Amino acid sequence: MTFEAPVLNYSILAPILIVLGGALVGVLIEAFAPRASRRSSQLFVTVASLVIALAALLRVRNQVSVSAAMGSVSFDGAGFLLQASILIIAILSVFLIADQENFTALAAAVPGSEEERHSLQADLRVTEVYPLTLFAVAGMLLFPISSDLITLFVALEMLSLPLYLMAGLSRRRRLMSQESALKYFLLGAFSSAFFLFGIAYLYGYSASITFSGIQASIVGGSGNDVFLLLGIAFISVGLLFKVGAVPFHAWTPDVYQGAPTAVTGFMAAATKVAAFGAILRIYYVTFANAQWQWKPALVLIAIITMVFGSVVAISQRDVKRMLAYSSIAHAGFLLSGVIALNKSGLEASIFYLFAYGIATLGAFAVVTLIRDSGGEVTDLNRWSGLGKRSPLTASVFALFLLAFAGIPLTSGFIGKFSIFSAAYESGNTSLLIAGVLSSAIAAFFYIRVIVLMFFKDSVEDGTSVVIPSALTTTTIAITSAVTLVLGIYPAPLINFIATFATFVR
């Protein structure tokens, strides 16, 4: 047996390698740089590597390749769009993460211990969050362009492990934060096991782990269908867990609430793009020919997810939990783009992912601003009268809520329109009706928050809107501008997506 040296297409892999390189530099800084200079150098390295990665990605935007890494990576227009969305969201998230108020002083210190008090007094800051972010981003970049199941699994773990850690870094209510991180980790490990199990079944079915090999077996139809079904089902469990679809959503509210808000925003926006990117690729490319087997189940999951997310969100009293359930509902809407299985479904999903990711990030950015002496205030009742105290902040948050609700002249409306019409075009009337009805339910709790902010009198309990740092301001300004512009004049982005959005098979 001769050993073949792997042939890698470095220009296509460059964005991932640059981000990973940045992460490694970050680890070195963490190890060797003096504490005082760590924050600024980490921030610089992180933003720089993300920006350079984005530039490197733009250079290869017209390339299409199924053999970028010995058949393990497929790069194409859709991959480019997804990676670009992830990088843009990541850059904006890093701006939020840089506002270190949110993070614990010393992650290793036991909550309530002497060590923690010392670290707080010394005004220490965790800076390991930067390389962790970069590792997660690298995993996210690999996730939607993986074209074999092993690479997909590696990417999944690569993006998940740093997120588990980041979820536990909250400065206040550290026990809750750590509990959420542990929950996330345990459930994530559980779903990874399912995912691996699925890989085994698919290998048993097709004797292949590549997407194209499995697809060829499905088309050939010679394998054992039971293995195929079990394989698709278990792999779907692993993927649906990441996007928080019902019934695999249980971690979402706790983790969204417990994690530092900047991390929640990053997780909610970027993970969703990466995970849906992978789902889109595997369903559009590999499982498309077996659609009669999985479609009914996925339709059911999509409908339950939309309705459950919208209904349960109504009773939430905490803004981060509410946004968590809202993200569950949106996962349901996005699944209808997967089920559509046509070109407009793919374009609509990518547009929706980008628009939703940006709006989500913006919403969480606003959440970081509402604070009292003990940190962020996420209890919705204490948000009442916010419109009086800080009209601008409240208006921006209202804009994001209206975008989530899909009101015209926001990006959410265009997204909703295009994804539902794609679903209906493919003959899924039930998804259209369920989508519209759950949007109506969802409108209720978005509007409730607007009522609270604008029409209720404020309570004097020390809740105030802090003046955002320049970086946070940048994030909020960009996300709100994008949300508005994509609602008023989305044609350029839609055309841009339409020219690129194809999967190479």
Partner 1 sequence: MNALTTMMALPLIGSLLIAIIPSEQVLRIKQAAFITTLLVAISGVLTWIKFDSANTALQFVESAKWIPSFGINYAVGVDGLAIVLILMSVLLAPIVVLAGWNESEGGRWSPKVFYILILVLETMMIGVFAATDLFLFYVFFEAMLIPVYFLIGGFGSGERAAAAVKFLLYSLFGGLLMLASIIGLYVISGANGGHTFDITRLSELHTYMSSTTQNLLFLGFFIAFAIKAPVWPLHTWLPDAAAAATPGTSVLLLGVLDKVGTFGMIRFCLALFPDASKTFTPLILVLSVISIIYGAFLAIGARDIKRLIAYTSISHFGFITMGIFAMTSQGMSGATLYMFNHGFSTAALFLVAGWMISRRGSSTIADFGGLQRVTPIMAWSFFIAGMSSLALPGLSSFVSEFLVLVGTYTRYPVAAVIATFGIVLAALYILIPVQKALHGPTTPGNENLSDLNLREKIAIAPVVAIIVALGFYPSPLLNVINPASAHVLEVQGFTDPVPSESAGK
The residue ranges that bind partner 1 (CB under 8 A) are: 387-388, 391, 402, 405, 407-409, 413-414, 416-418, 420-421, 424-425, 432-433, 436-437, 439-440, 443-444, 447-448, 451, 454-456, 489-491, 494-495, 498
Q: In what order do the strands lie in the sheet with 375-376?
A: 375-376, 370-372, 464-465
The residues near 16 (Cβ < 8 Å, ≥ 6 apart) are: 53, 138, 141, 142
User: By C-beta, is 251 or 445 nearer to partner 1?
Assistant: 445
User: Least distance from C-beta 332 to partner 1, angstroms?
Assistant: 15
Angle value at C-alpha 103, between 140 and 468, nearest 5 degrees: 95
Side-chain-side CA neighbours of 242 within 13 Å: the count stands at 32
Q: Which is nearer to partner 1, 75 or 351 (CB)?
A: 351
Least separation in angstroms between residue 358's CB and partner 1 is 18
CB of 244 or CB of 387, closer to partner 1: 387
Dig out the tokens for 334 from the structure.
Answer: 């996005």
Given the complex with partner 1, which of 82 and 493 has the nearer CB atom? 493
Nearer to partner 1, 189 or 433 (CB): 433
DSSP states of 426-470: TT-HHHHHHHHHHHHHHHHHHHHHHHHHHHSPPP-SS-EEPPPPH
CB of 177 to partner 1, least distance (A): 34
Q: How far apart are CA 180 and CA 176, in angstroms?
A: 6
Smallest separation, CB 380 to partner 1 (Å): 15
Rg (CA), the chain: 22
H or E element at residue 372: strand 370-372
CA angle 347, 348, 354 (to 5 degrees): 95
Task: Please report how close the Cβ of residue 408 comes to partner 1 at its closest, in angstroms.
Answer: 4
Handedness of CA 135, 136, 137, 142 (dihedral sign): positive
Would you say 254 and 179 are in contact if contact means Cβ atoms under 8 Å apart? Answer: yes
How long, in residues, is the chain? 505
Do the beta carbons of residue 45 and residue 29 sit within 8 Å? Answer: yes
Nearest distance from C-beta of residue 478 to partner 1, angstroms: 22
Residue with tokens 């690129």: 500
Residue whose CB is less far from partner 1, 263 or 419 = 419
What is d(CA 26, CA 49) in angstroms, rounded to the nearest whole number?
Answer: 10
Nearest CB to partner 1, comparing residues 307 and 414: 414
Nearest to partner 1 of 109, 355 (CB atom): 355
Residue 55 or 451: the one with the smaller Cβ distance to partner 1 is 451
Q: Which is nearer to partner 1, 215 or 411 (CB)?
A: 411
The distance of closest approach from Cβ of residue 284 to partner 1 in the complex, given in angstroms and rounded to an integer, is: 19
What is residue 503's DSSP assignment? -
**C-beta of 350: minimal distance to partner 1 in Å?**
13
Per-residue DSSP letters for 119-181? HHHTT----THHHHHHHHHHHHHHGGGB-BHHHHHHHHHHHHHHHHHHHT-BSSSHHHHHHHH
Which is closer to partner 1, CB of 5 or CB of 491? 491
CB of 419 within 8 A of CB of 349? yes
Residue 462 CB, nearest approach to partner 1 (Å): 22
For the bound state, the minimum distance from the C-beta of residue 423 to partner 1, rounded and expressed in Å, comes to 9
**CB nearer partner 1, residue 155 or residue 434:** 434
Tell the smallest beta-carbon distance from residue 417 to partner 1 (Å). 7
- Count helices and strands in the chain by DSSP H and E runs: 21, 3
Are the C-beta atoms of residues 20 and 78 closer than 8 Å to each other? no
Minimal distance in Å, beta carbon 441 to partner 1? 9
